[in-house]
Structure formats: C-alpha cells, structure tokens
Amino acid sequence: MASSSSSPLSRQSVTAAVAQLYNTYPFPPEPLLDEPPPGYNWRWHWTAAHAFCTGRSPDRQAIRVLDAGCGTGVGTEYIAHLNPQAKITGIDLSDRALETARNRCQRSGAQNVRFQTLSIYDVGQLEGTFDWINCVGVLHHMPDPQAGIQALATKLAPGGLLHIFVYAALGRWEISLMQEAIGLLQGERRGDYTDGVQVGRQIFAHLPETNRLRRREEERWSLENHRDANFADMYVHPQEVDYTVNTLFELIDASGLMFLGFSNPRYWDLSRLIGSQPDLMARSAVLSQHQRYRLVELLDPEITHYEFFLAKPPLDRLDWSDDGQLRQARVQRHPCMQGWPSQSIFDYDYQMVDLTAAEFQSLTYCDQAESAPTVAELVAATELDLGEVRSLQQRQLIVLTAPTA
C-alpha cells in the first residue's frame, strides 16, 4: 500500500487533481431516468445489508445515511429509492458530478436526499452521526486513505455500518502498467485528462493483438470503457492505491472499526479452490482468517476489488443457533429477490436459486400472512423444520427479526 503520510500541500494538490478529473469526466456516466432505477443492489438496501451483517432485521428504517464520494449519484439514487424512510446526504469533490447527481435524483423522484460539495477529510463539518455510511470506489483515490477512513469512522453512530469498496492490486496489474505507460507518453501533458484518454486509446489500438495488456482490456473492460469517462477513471486517474489482503487489513485496523466480512463470501471460501484435497484443507485450518483470505487471493488472483462491511461497536449479531430464540423470531421474505413468485428465482446476489416445494410454500406463507409470522407459526403451517429455516436465513432468502425481551 502506498504511504499514508502525505503533507497538507500534497494532499491539497492531489485532491484538486481528482476534482479536476471528475469535473472533466463526471463519473459514473450512467444515463438519467425519469423513474426509479431498475432492480436492486442489496448492499444499498438497509434491511438486506443489516441482515447480512448481523443476522437480523434492523430495529428501524428512519435512519441517517451518508454516501461519501457519491459522484453522479448512481448509488445515492438506489439508496434513496430502496430506503424511502432514510434521510440521505451525498458528498463529493466534483461540483459537476454533484450537479448530475441532483438532476438524477430529481428526475427519478428521490426526495429524501441532499447533496453537498465536501471532502471526506472534512466530514466533521456535517452535523451528527450516521447509521450507515456508503463509500464505494473512493478511498483508493485519496492521497491519505487511512485519514479518510478514520474521518468516516468518527461520523459513524454506535452500531452503525460502513460499506466500503476499494481496488485490489493483483487483478488490476495490467491496469497499473497501462496507467504508468500513458503517464510516460503524456510527459508534461500529464493531468490533461482528455489527452490521456486519447493516448491510451491509441496505445490499445496499435499494440499487437497478442499483447497481454490489450487482451485483458478487450476481454474484461472494453464493454464499459467505450465511454470516455470510464476509460479516464480507469487509466488516467491522478491518484490510485491498490491493495492486497495484507495492506487492506492495515487500512481496516487503522479505522478502529470491527470487520464484519466481505460482501461476496463465496469468493473467499477456500474450499472452492482446494476443497477436494482434505490434506490441504487440514493444513489451512491452522492459518488465521486473514491468512486464509490471503491464500485465496494468491491462488485465484482475478479479484479486482474488495467490498466489505465494518461496524462501530456495540453491534449485536445473531447466529440463530438457539432453538428457542429462533422459534420466537419473526420471519419475512428477503426484500431483494427477482422472479418471485416462482420456484426459480434470482436471489439477493442475482444468483439463480431453485426453491424446493417446501421452501416455496414457506415464502408464500410469509407473503400472505397479515403480519410477519413467528418461525414457530411458519414451521407449524408448512413442511419446513428449524434446520431448513436456518438454511433459508443463511442463504439470505428470509430475514429474521429478533424476539423482544
């Protein structure tokens, strides 16, 4: 990881350069709609994210949300529509990006959000604390990411969640090489982002077809990079820090917050790589969790980013291992599900799921009940047992509400 010790002058100059990039190419360059955005991203749905992190539904929906580094408001718009009771603040360095964000939310009818030009370093200027902070694709573009995450941590309410997305070094190796190559060819024109895009496109167009950098671009990135804003964000950004698992946890440790887990746990399951070899799995059992994560990325270095949740203690987390507690819990169908009602659906992570007849019956029962039934009522009315209820909860197909004391 790059050094986090930046002088105030260098921090100021880099921050200005980043703002200039996004004033030149507002990002993300997604189209504006005159209706709510389609589908869902469960990481931007408060009930879904809270249930993923804690095992239970949140106590309330009227929360304060900070979208830190909101850009053109693509994520902010989703958060606003998926959480209509929330009060959302979006901040960014780029006035032009914020102008797009305001227009985006106004056109789609998102009325529970306000925007402000502000650096993450200066979030202390915002009033109060936030129950949920979203910071996607931002910290790795800051000259001092540790100071950035520490600033966000001070604005997180006790029990609050921080959702973060940062770049991974191994899967972006070819990108980092092209970034340096473009910079060398730009010379004194480095910082002229339109020129950087032109130079980069020329390089890719004239490299041999078998060249590794060209093949990686064509196979992985070219579909989105046909837009200059995407190309500029990837290849001519003035500031980028790419992480490994080891340096990522240095950043997390610096925050003083609790690591709750990666949002794509299937990827980080070591058994998908060496699970067929009991001896290797036994050897890995003596490793720390962080070492097992590192082993995963060494054996499968395709990951291009890390997306994860942190929390400020205290935070109650339930595993529902107690039968009595589980029976008393109230149950509802997971809010992020596509294709319902059907036995073949897309789950919260847009993965195809084939429900058994009993599972389909149980989810239908939850929908048709006048109020959320208890697990005991669900088991009595359907063919599900407690083990199958736990399976539905672990697969994020239902959300459980903890019984009141």
95 and 131: one domain?
yes
pLDDT tens digits for 189-205? Answer: 999 999 999 999 999 99
More confidently predicted of 93 and 7: 93
Q: Determine the residue type at 104.
A: R
pLDDT of residue 4: 39
Confidence class for position 323, pLDDT limits 50, 70, 90: very high
Torsions phi, psi for 291 (to 5 deg): -65, -35
Q: Would you state the structure tokens that stand for residue 184, as one six-digit string? A: 């060398």
254 and 381: one domain?
no
pLDDT tens digits for 18-65? Answer: 999 999 999 999 999 999 999 999 999 999 999 999 999 999 999 999
pLDDT of residue 10: 83
pLDDT surpasses 50 at 172: yes
pLDDT of residue 43: 98
Q: What percent of the chain has pLDDT over 90?
A: 97
Q: What is the Cα Rg of the chain in Å?
A: 23
CATH of the domain at 35: 3.40.50.150
| Angle between the N-to-C axes of helices 95-108 and 8-24, in degrees from 0 to 180, rounded to the nearest 10 | 50
For residue 67, what are the β-bridge partners? 90, 134
Q: What percent of the chain has pLDDT over 70?
A: 98
93 and 165: one domain?
yes
307 and 339: one domain?
no
Q: Is residue 3 one of the residues assigned to a domain?
A: no
Q: Is residue 165 one of the residues assigned to a domain?
A: yes
92 and 164: one domain?
yes
Split into its structural domains, the chain has a count of: 2
CB 21 within 8 A of CB 232: yes
Coil, helix or strand at residue 270: coil
- Give me the domain span that covers residue 350: 323-401
pLDDT surpasses 60 at 123: yes
Average pLDDT of the segment spanning 5-10: 52
Q: Would you state the structure tokens that stand for residue 20, as one six-digit string? A: 């200039």
CA angle (259, 156, 65) in 5-degree steps: 110
133 and 260: one domain?
yes
Number of alpha carbons in the 13 Å side-chain half-sphere of residue 3? 5
Q: Is residue 291 one of the residues assigned to a domain?
A: no
Q: Is residue 210 one of the residues assigned to a domain?
A: no
pLDDT of residue 207: 98
User: What is the Cα–Cα distance from 192 to 273, expressed in whole angstroms?
Assistant: 43
Confidence class for position 8, pLDDT limits 50, 70, 90: low
Output the average pLDDT for the chain: 96
CB burial class (10 A; 0-12, 13-18, 19+) of residue 127? exposed
Q: Is residue 225 one of the residues assigned to a domain?
A: no
Cis omega (within 30 of 0) for bond into 84: no
pLDDT of residue 395: 98
pTM assigned to the model? 0.95
Confidence class for position 302, pLDDT limits 50, 70, 90: very high
Q: Is residue 381 one of the residues assigned to a domain?
A: yes
Confidence class for position 1, pLDDT limits 50, 70, 90: very low
Q: Is residue 139 one of the residues assigned to a domain?
A: yes
User: What is the Cα–Cα distance from 345 to 336, expressed in whole angstroms?
Assistant: 11
pLDDT surpasses 90 at 368: yes
Considering 250, 277, 311, which residue would you say is the last residue of a domain?
311
Confidence class for position 405, pLDDT limits 50, 70, 90: low
332 and 307: one domain?
no
307 and 367: one domain?
no
259 and 368: one domain?
no
336 and 367: one domain?
yes
**258 membership: H or E segment, kind and range:** strand 258-262
18 and 161: one domain?
yes
pLDDT of residue 9: 53
Q: Is residue 154 one of the residues assigned to a domain?
A: yes
43 and 140: one domain?
yes
pLDDT surpasses 70 at 73: yes
Among residues 115, 238, 136, which one has the least CA distance to residue 180? 238
